[in-house]
Structure 1
Amino acid sequence: MANVNIKFNGKEYLLSCEDGQEEHLEELSSHLSQKFSSLKNSLGNIGENKLLLITSITTMDEYFETKKKLEKQKIEIQNLISKFKELKSLVYNYKDEKEKEILKLSDNQTKLEFEIQNQKNNYEDLIDTATKEIENFIQKNNPDTNIQ
């Protein structure tokens, strides 16, 4: 245990704290002393006990207001976390849907490419057949012509 000399309202007090907490105790004491002095200046000398009580109540009020704000912020953070999770889920669902659409479009593209190639082959076969039939027709109707 460490000992710290604290000056409060013109008097010195020896307080104990855990090792390493000396600076923190001095900071708390300084804050309390400032609050006490401020109240003493604004309210006048109404007695040390009453000023200590008012200082304690004021400090507790600040503590509880801070605690309420903290609880409110925790709730807001939980709401944000919940909204974030919902948004994350929506993003992943959207991504999955788009990947399915891309796959479907890719399959359709492959089918269309295959169909185009088949149509091209059929067209070439049709042209070849028509050309042969025209050549045969010309040869039959005009035996003197030699077409290549």
Structure 2
Amino acid sequence: MNHINVTINGRQYRMACEDGQEARLLTLADNLESRIGQLRGKFGEIGDARLTVMAALTVCDELLDAGQRLRQLEEEVRELRSVRAASADRARVTQTAVANALNAAADRIERTTQILNRTIGGGVAIG
């Protein structure tokens, strides 16, 4: 477990993080610091605690929206997979039907050729 110092709303905080997560924690702190700065620019000096709470609520709002969008996209992916599977099944059925029709046509052509050869009798064989 490592410890790093982050600055949020102008104050230093010593935070613990897992090994290798230092850069991510710094990025998160910078993001929160930026949000607080934006809110301060928009609303002025309304108190440190209030700015921090507003920034946290903004992040939570975005997280909830992202979660909803993720669930929508996951449902869309499930539906698309279902449609893809149904399409693949229809394609297999169609390919089988086409193959059967071609085989049946080839059989009819072969029988017709044999009949014509017998009918012509002794002439030049067709096919």
Sort the TM-score into its range (normalised by shorter chain).
over 0.9
Shift of 1:76: 0.9
Supply the distance in 1 between the matched residues of 2:33 and 2:20 (Cα, whole angstroms).
Answer: 22
Give unpaired runs (5+ residues) of structure 1.
125-148
Q: Deviations over 1:46-100 (max 9, x none)?
A: 1111111111111000000011111111111111111111111111110000010
State the AA in 2 paired with 1:113: T
Could you say which residue in structure 2 is the equivalent of 1:39? Answer: 39
Q: TM-score, normalised by structure 1?
A: 0.80
Could you say which residue in structure 2 is the equivalent of 1:69? Answer: 69
3-state secondary structure, aligned to 2:121: helix
Supply the distance in 2 between the matched residues of 1:57 and 1:11 (Cα, whole angstroms).
Answer: 19
Supply the distance in 2 between the matched residues of 1:12 and 1:52 (Cα, whole angstroms).
Answer: 14
Structure with the bigger RCO (C-alpha within 8 Å, sep 6+) is 2
Give unpaired runs (5+ residues) of structure 2.
none
Could you say which residue in structure 2 is the equivalent of 1:85? Answer: 85
Alignment root-mean-square deviation, CA:
1.1
Could you say which residue in structure 2 is the equivalent of 1:103? Answer: 103
Moved over 2 A (4+): none
Q: TM-score, normalised by structure 2?
A: 0.92
Supply the distance in 1 between the matched residues of 2:49 and 2:5 (Cα, whole angstroms).
Answer: 21
Could you say which residue in structure 2 is the equivalent of 1:114? Answer: 114
3-state secondary structure, aligned to 1:111: helix
Supply the distance in 1 between the matched residues of 2:100 and 2:13 (Cα, whole angstroms).
Answer: 75
Supply the distance in 2 between the matched residues of 1:64 and 1:118 (Cα, whole angstroms).
Answer: 81
Structure 1 residue 29 corresponds to structure 2 residue 29: yes
Q: Deviations over 1:82-129 (max 9, x none)?
A: 11111111111100000100110111111011101101117x6xxxxx
State the AA in 2 paired with 1:104: A
- Is contact 2:7-2:13 (8 Å) kept? yes
Shift of 1:22: 0.6
Aligned residues: 123
Supply the distance in 1 between the matched residues of 2:91 and 2:30 (Cα, whole angstroms).
Answer: 52
